[in-house]
Chains A and B, each alone.
Chain A
Amino acid sequence: MNTEILSFENVTFTYNTEDETMRPAVENVTFSIESGEWIALVGHNGSGKSTMAKLMNGLLFPNEGKVKVFGHTMSEETLWDIRSQMGMVFQNPDNQFVGATVQDDVAFALENNGVPHAQMVERVHVALSQVKMEDYKDHEPHHLSGGQKQRVAIAGALAMRPKLLILDEATSMLDPQGRMEVIETIRRLRESTGLTVISITHDLEEAALAERIIVMNRGQKHVEGTPAAVFNEGSELTEMGLDLPFAMRMTHLLQEAGVALQEEHMTEDKLVDELWKYYSRA
């Protein structure tokens, strides 16, 4: 029952089309995402990934090519319908909190879409429990931590029962604890609902949790594949300003130090495993 949720077909976008010297922010990008997938879109700052986020929600339209969401081509006509079925969480936790309290904020999109009151109450309650923030429903935003605000933003998206959740650098301004809270929340959601998620990030550690990674570099799609396949690029990713996950960096450092490890490791457990085997063989 895999159906396509979102696709880019040869999408090109330039911020200033008049200026000939301007490099396109996104250049001839093609990919497709199916229902139930978790995709990470990674790239250094300025790689074009935030422009792609804006193309996905219709804040920008491509100069060339097509963006299709839920089977509809993104256009002025389909825009609002598409938006009502997708949730989006942005980078700055403060600047997307519209409501006066947690529950008001979660209800915001519901109000906009004219959901009747009784249903709203129910949906706000469910969404808040999905992100474990029920106890905070009357709190004001400035009494919450960054991680909590981002969880509220996720709840606000979930209340609309979206088919797709996009996290646009949602963890990049958080402290380690806040980042963990958000990632944990997404993980649990994926387990319980199988929601399709696109996370846009420059943190490859976070990207390693996804099923598929698309690496952007200078506006172009550099490579696409499973985390293991993508991380095999090794030094090329580092040159792009990205950082390999810790276990992979260690694997490389160990190989340089003369430990002849055979495999690339994504997790510390597996790395220690091979070290142990390697050692007991010797």
Chain B
Amino acid sequence: MMEKMIFGRFIPGDSVVHRMDPRAKILFVFLFIAIVFVANNAWGYAILLGFTLLVVFLSKIRLYFLINGLKPVFILLIFTFFLHLFFTREGDLLFSFGFIEIYEEGLRQGIFISIRFLVLVFMTSVLTLTTSPISITDGIEVLLGPFKKIKLPVHELALMMSISLRFIPTLMDETGKILKAQMARGSDIGSGPMKERVKAVVPLLIPLFVSAFKRAEDLATAMEVRGYRGGEGRTRYRQLNWQLADTLSLVLLAGLTAVLWYFRA
């Protein structure tokens, strides 16, 4: 199941969306999250859904892949839908069976909330699927740049993030290896009563910590020897490049806001 999950993953590609400046994409998603709340009727939600599908289309991510990869998220979505359906008691009674009563307003709310949820998940997924984690980090570092003035360690945070990203696959591999080595010594993490399972995690976690600390120490040495002394006086190899498409995307978003406002009840 986890292997099929695409939430938070990056799929390299060459679409308009892939090529956009990460700053533009991050801003776009943040503004979009706010704009979603402007919609408050069927028209508004239909427009939002259409707009989101347009962005997915532009990103050249296959809709099937997106839906399939987000299955666990849909379970949450369906749950939210039914929650609203059953527990909102306003408007006309549409249907009743025993203690279950469904009202018009409940159905409306259920559908609207689901769409809202769906477009948010789709839009953020498009961001992570089309932007490499390191570009997102770059984008955040630059966007947060002004906060350096209030002594926020922006450069250090970004570096921490990029190093963590860099080491995730390494540590995943290592976890697998240690797990197998302990299984070969008769440790059984996947079964037995809870108490046994917790005990079985120790032989996995300790070696993992020991190795992570060793790696951190080695990495610190390597960085120091290569002249790392903090953000002061550093230049950047990765350059961000704001283009016309980036400006246009934000203009488009402004257009969407205007349209939503117009249709607002």
- Enumerate chain A interface residues (CB-CB to B < 8 A): 57, 59, 80, 83-84, 88, 90, 92, 94-101, 103-104, 107-117, 120-121, 124, 140-142, 156-157, 160
16 new A-B contacts at CB < 8 Å, known A57-B225, A141-B166: A59-B221, A92-B218, A98-B166, A103-B237, A104-B237, A108-B226, A110-B237, A111-B236, A112-B226, A112-B228, A112-B229, A112-B234, A117-B237, A117-B239, A120-B237, A140-B169
- Most chain B beta-carbon neighbours within 10 Å: one of A109, A110, A111: A111
Chain B: minimal CB distance from A82 (Å): 10
A113/B227 contact (C-beta < 8 A), A59-B221, A90-B222 known? yes
Contact B169 A95 (CB under 8 A): no
Residues 99-153 of B contacting A (Cβ, < 8 Å): 132-134
Residue in A57, A95, A114 whose CB lies within 8 Å of B233: A114
- Whether B191 is near chain A, meaning CB under 8 Å from some CB there, is no
A-B contact count (CB 8 A): 88
- Enumerate chain B interface residues (CB-CB to A < 8 A): 132-134, 162-163, 165-166, 169-170, 173, 214-215, 218-219, 221-229, 233-239
Contact B222 A101 (CB under 8 A): no
Listed from nearest, the 10 A-B pairs whose CB atoms lie closest are: A95-B218, A107-B237, A96-B222, A100-B134, A112-B227, A109-B226, A142-B169, A114-B233, A95-B215, A112-B228
Contact B234 A114 (CB under 8 A): yes
Contact B235 A115 (CB under 8 A): yes
| Secondary structure class of chain A's binding surface, majority of residues | helix
Contact B163 A98 (CB under 8 A): yes
Chain A: minimal CB distance from B135 (Å): 9
| B-chain residues with CB within 8 Å of residue A100 when the two chains form the complex | 132-134, 162, 165-166
Contact B225 A95 (CB under 8 A): no
Chain B: minimal CB distance from A14 (Å): 20
Instruction: Tell me, in angstroms, the Cα distance from A94 to B162 when the chains sit together.
Output: 15
Chain A: minimal CB distance from B122 (Å): 26
| A-chain residues with CB within 8 Å of residue B134 when the two chains form the complex | 100-101, 104
Chain B, Cβ-Cβ closest to A119: B235
| A-chain residues with CB within 8 Å of residue B133 when the two chains form the complex | 100
Instruction: Tell me, in angstroms, the Cα distance from A114 to B233 when the chains sit together.
Output: 6
Chain B: minimal CB distance from A52 (Å): 14
| B-chain residues with CB within 8 Å of residue A97 when the two chains form the complex | 166
Chain B: minimal CB distance from A178 (Å): 17
Instruction: Tell me, in angstroms, the Cα distance from A193 to B38 when the chains sit together.
Output: 65
Instruction: Tell me, in angstroms, the Cα distance from A94 to B171 when the chains sit together.
Output: 11
- Most chain B beta-carbon neighbours within 10 Å: one of A59, A94, A117: A94
Contact B225 A111 (CB under 8 A): no
Instruction: Tell me, in angstroms, the Cα distance from A88 to B132 when the chains sit together.
Output: 29
Instruction: Tell me, in angstroms, the Cα distance from A88 to B166 when the chains sit together.
Output: 21
Contact B227 A109 (CB under 8 A): yes
Instruction: Tell me, in angstroms, the Cα distance from A113 to B228 when the chains sit together.
Output: 8
A96/B227 contact (C-beta < 8 A), A111-B235, A117-B236, A120-B235 known? no
A–B Cβ pairs within 8 angstroms, 25 of them: A83-B225, A83-B226, A84-B227, A88-B222, A88-B225, A94-B170, A95-B218, A96-B222, A98-B166, A98-B219, A98-B223, A100-B133, A100-B162, A103-B237, A104-B237, A104-B238, A108-B226, A109-B227, A110-B237, A111-B235, A114-B233, A117-B235, A117-B239, A121-B237, A156-B226
